[in-house]
A and B are shown apart, each in its own frame.
Chain A
Amino acid sequence: MSRFPARPVTLIVGLALGVALGLLYTWVIDPVELVNTYPALLRTDYRQGWVRLVALSYIADGNLDRARARLEGLEQEDVAGAIGALIEEYAAAGRPADTLRSLTGLAEALDVRTPAMLVYLYTPAPSPPVLVHTPLSAPTPTPVHTSVPPTPSPPAVPTLDPTHTPTSQPGSALPSPTLASAPGSTPLPSPTPSLLSRLYLARQEQVCQPGQTPHIEVVVRDERGAGLPGVEVWLVWTGGADRAVTGLKPRDGAGYADFNAEPGVRYALSVGELGRPLVAGLQIEACPAQGSEAPAPGSWRLVVEPRPL
């Protein structure tokens, strides 16, 4: 019996076996040795860590050319994601405004945009901050708060007691900041007492929502009732202080900022300048009991507006 018909099969099987063994060796046993890679090949989290390091280094040395060179070859998506996250993280942690300005300056140079950086880009660098109004239109009368009977609220919306004044603007972007100093421009002297020096507590409302974490919401408005972004708000208590900047949560309004708060602690609130409290002795209080349920701790919503000139 001839063995000839079996030869092609043998050849093919041998070839396949050889290729398989070869690939096993080159891909698994002894793959191409990995050396001399570059940042763009790093794993995603390491890549973002690289961008973060670049940004942190920029904070320290301020060398934009060096930062750009270090980011060369990386996708804009990676750069934007990591720097945006760092800015948000630093803003939420209340890092010094100078640090955030430096970071946002880098972000702007790299075409990265986040809501938090807009706040710092348009916050005047000199301290204390001086706000000058852009003369867009004739001043309108300051709305005078009058007591309004409680209005029914939909279940998903926080219930305000005694009044409910919704200010959130779902989906709205940060409005153009009304602060005067734009990057690179010379701050204009204020011809009138600064807005911050005229701020006062216009309204204080308790917010009661089932399951909520006690907190203090602050809304800073200008004379026209529009939210003011980029205003520093300080919450001070015995043994501690916290800082927030309005406008970091655009969904809640451009002038909005909030703090977590604990029952039994007396808080003082300052806007713009630490040490000039607008509210003192503020404490978390229980909401009115509903039915047989134990009263839950309520939150506060403070609306701050400038006194009319």
Chain B
Amino acid sequence: MVGLALGFAVGWWLWPVQYTNTAPRVLRQDYRDDYVVMVATAYEAEKDLEQARQRLVLLDAEKPAAPVVELAERLVQVGGSAEDITRLARLAWALGALPPSLAPYLEGRP
């Protein structure tokens, strides 16, 4: 029992697994949000939808558009940057996942 306790102490507290090669999926929420905004902004610059989709798959492999829509709706609720919301709406539309609530941003009328 003492050995087990020591093992737990070392493994969880003194010398836990060191993560250095992490993926965007485990970024803190604010970094994840920033990542999604950057993907949408980069899409505006590159016009490369497949590239944007591949970047979003790193956050949600099954529903790549979900983080975009979720963030855009959250920004709408909290009164976030209209520019960011517009970019997110454009990307969501390009991915075929634009909800009606974001349609006004797509038309440039937030």
List A residues at the B interface (Cβ < 8 Å): 14-27, 31-32, 34-39, 41-44, 46, 49-50, 52-54, 56-57, 59-61, 70, 99
Q: Mark B9-20, 1 if CB is under 8 A from A, else 0.
A: 111100011011
Within 8 A of A (CB), among B17-69: 17, 19-24, 26-29, 31, 34-35, 37-39, 41-42, 44-46, 55, 58
* Interface band, chain B: 35 or more
The contact sample of 11 A-B pairs, CB cut-off 8 A, is A14-B3, A15-B6, A21-B3, A22-B5, A22-B9, A23-B10, A25-B8, A32-B17, A35-B26, A38-B31, A61-B41
Asked if B41 and A34 make an inter-chain contact with CB atoms under 8 angstroms apart, the answer reads no
Contacts of A25 in B (CB 8 A): 7-8, 11
Q: Does B78 contact A (CB under 8 A)?
A: no
Residues of A close to B1: CB separation below 8 A: 18
Contact, CB under 8 Å: A53 / B3: no
**Known: A38-B31, A39-B27, A56-B45. Contact between A19 and B58, CB under 8 A?**
no
- Shortest CB-to-CB span from A57 to chain B, Å, is 4
A98 to chain B, nearest CB (A): 11
Given contacts A37-B27, A42-B27, A52-B42, could you give 17 more A-B pairs where the C-beta distance is less than 8 Å? A14-B3, A15-B2, A18-B3, A18-B7, A21-B3, A22-B5, A22-B8, A23-B7, A25-B8, A26-B17, A32-B12, A34-B26, A38-B31, A41-B22, A42-B23, A50-B24, A57-B45
B-side contacts of A46, CB under 8 Å: 22-24, 58
Secondary structure dominating the interface of A: helix
CB distance from A79 to the nearest CB of B (A): 15
Residues of B within 8 A of A54 (CB): 38
Contact A60 B45 (CB under 8 A): yes
Query: Taking A25-B7, A26-B12 as contacts, is the C-beta distance between A36 and B28 under 8 angstroms?
Result: yes
Of A17, A56, A70, which one neighbours B46 at CB under 8 angstroms?
A56
Provide the bound-state CA to CA distance between A35 and B7, in Å: 23
B83 interfacial by beta-carbon distance below 8 Å: yes
Flag if A43 contacts B22 (CB, 8 Å): yes
C-alpha spacing A7/B83, complex, angstroms = 72
Question: Are B5 and A57 within 8 A (Cβ)?
Answer: no
Given contacts A38-B31, A70-B38, contact A16 B44 (CB under 8 A): no
Closest A residue to B23 by beta carbon equals A46
Q: How far is the CA of A112 from the CA of B5 in the complex (A)?
A: 50
Residues of B within 8 A of A23 (CB): 7, 10-11
Kindly provide the distance from the CB of B13 to the nearest chain A CB, expressed in whole angstroms: 9
Q: Is the CB–CB distance between A22 and B27 below 8 Å? A: no
Contact in complex: A22, B11 (CB < 8 Å): yes
Q: Which of B10, B20, B28, B41 contacts A56 (CB 8 A)?
A: B41
Given contacts A27-B17, A37-B22, contact A57 B41 (CB under 8 A): yes
Instruction: Check if B44 sits within 8 Å of A27, measured CB to CB.
Output: no
Are A22 and B4 neighbours in the complex by a CB distance under 8 Å?
Answer: yes
Closest 3 CB pairs of A and B: A22-B7, A18-B3, A26-B11
Residues of B within 8 A of A35 (CB): 26, 28
Query: Once the chains are docked, how many angstroms separate the CA of A25 from the CA of B4?
Result: 9
